[in-house]
Structure formats: structure tokens, C-alpha cells
Amino acid sequence: MSIVFLHGTGSAGPKAWPLQAAALGDEAHFVRRVHDGDHPDHVQPVVIDALAPRGHLVAHSYGCVSAVLAATERPDVVASLVLCEPPFVGLTAGWPETDAHVAALAPLFERRSDPTFTDLELSAGFATAVGMPVPDFTPDQLARSAARLRAFTPAWLIAIDPTIVGRVPTLVVTSGTRDIYDEVAHLLEGHGATRLVLPGHGHRVQDHPDATAAFRRFWGSTTSAEAQ
């Protein structure tokens, strides 16, 4: 069974999953960026092709949007989902952390086509809003990051069916910092997902030293369940 890792808005490919790439090597496929804005219309077909005929899908942050849409469209191909800090804030509108998060991000995207809105303002504002440190980019890195964000569709504008986590075995991993990701995880748990908290690594929960082993245990449990 294949294992596919899907990046968020930052690094892509193995660089987005350094511990998992080191541990799994050729056993897994690490999706590289196929579209500046990581829009599901472009990413989802690539993910489904990589999983075929059937496999485990692990995604981080915005990549979780494409992952869940892929599972909704092709549950026959997606054997399980591991969602690392999924930003499904369209599902948790009205929750306090979600509303504060959207209030911080929405003005950035409203101004993204404004030529006076600098790449640094956009990238720094986005990093702060999603709970990550402001990156110390080179000018080229800053330009690439801002280009991706200017092509980005906010997660709250993409419809997600939360009931998919009750039909496809799903592990939701968060850092436990009582933020939007915990609100989303709580909601998904109510629809049948399993929750795991890996503290101490901020938004990049996959950098926790126990993350890969936790993923393996989850894959093993779903494979055993399928065999029964």
C-alpha cells in the first residue's frame, strides 16, 4: 500500500517532511508543489494518482484541504488520512479562535492584489496569523513565498464535508495550543476522527520525534481493521 505526504503552503516535497523522509525514504512519496497557490483543483488529481491503487495519505496545514477533498471524491483510493493541523475554519465559524484567525487573515487576502502591499507585509502577516515565526527569507525566497500567497484561496472559501472522517479512518494531529487547529480537531473528532496531540513544535507537528511512529501505528491499525 502506498504512502503519500502532502505539504502545506511552505516547503514542499521531502523538505516539508524531513523526519519522515529520513525514516521512510523510498517507502513513501512526497508530493512536490504543482501550483503556486496549492489549489485543490491542481493538487487533488496528483495526490490521487500517487495513491493509486490505494494508500495512506498524510497532509499538513493547507494540504489537508486537498487531502480531504481527495478522500471525499475517491474513498476507494484513500485508505486512511493523517491530518496535521488542518485549517478547516469554514467548519468552525463562530468559534472564538477561528473568528480571530479569519479576522487576522481576511484583510491580507483582500489586499493581495494591491501593488502597495509589499511581499514582506503579506508573508509576515500570514506567518503571524497561522502561528508560525516570521521567516528570515532571502529576497528571492520572499518573492516566491508572496507569489504563492497572492495565488492562494483561503481555506474558509473551500467547502469541506466533515463527515468524510467517519467514512475514511482519520487521525487529526495538533500541537495542543488551544488555537484554530484544536477547534477544528474537536469538531472532526465529533464526526469520528481520532485525535493526537504532539506538543512542543508549534504548527509543524510532524517535526515531533514521535510523529513518524504515531503515523505508523495508525496505518497499522487501519490495515488490521480492513483485514477483518
Lookup: cell for 160: 469541506
Based on the domain organization, do 47 and 8 belong to the same domain? yes
Q: Is residue 199 located within the same domain as residue 146?
A: no
Instruction: Write down the residue that cell numbers 517532511 correspond to.
Output: 17
Helix (H, G, I), strand (E, B) or coil at 161: coil
- The string of pLDDT tens digits covering residues 29-54 is 999 999 889 999 999 999 999 999 99
CATH number at residue 194: 3.40.50.1820
How do the pLDDT tens digits run along the chain, 228 residues long? Answer: 999 999 998 899 999 999 999 999 999 999 999 988 999 999 999 999 999 999 999 999 999 999 999 999 999 999 999 999 999 999 999 999 999 999 999 999 999 999 999 999 999 998 888 777 888 889 999 998 899 899 989 999 999 999 999 999 999 999 999 899 999 999 999 999 999 999 999 999 999 999 999 999 999 999 767 766
Cα-trace Rg, the chain: 17
Query: What would the pLDDT profile of 119-152 be if each residue is shown by its tens digit?
Result: 999 999 988 887 778 888 899 999 988 998 999 8
Q: Residue 200: exposed, middle, or buried by beta-carbon count in 10 A (0-12, 13-18, 19+)?
A: exposed
Q: Which domain holds residue 209?
A: 2-93+158-227
> What's the rounded Cα separation, in Å, for the pair 210 and 45?
30
pTM over 0.75: yes
Is the separation of the CB atoms in 8 and 61 below 8 Å? yes
Residues 20 and 81 in one domain: yes
Q: Is 88 in the same domain as 103?
A: no
Nearest Cα to 29, choosing from 2, 62, 53?
A: 2
- Same-domain check for residues 213 and 126: no
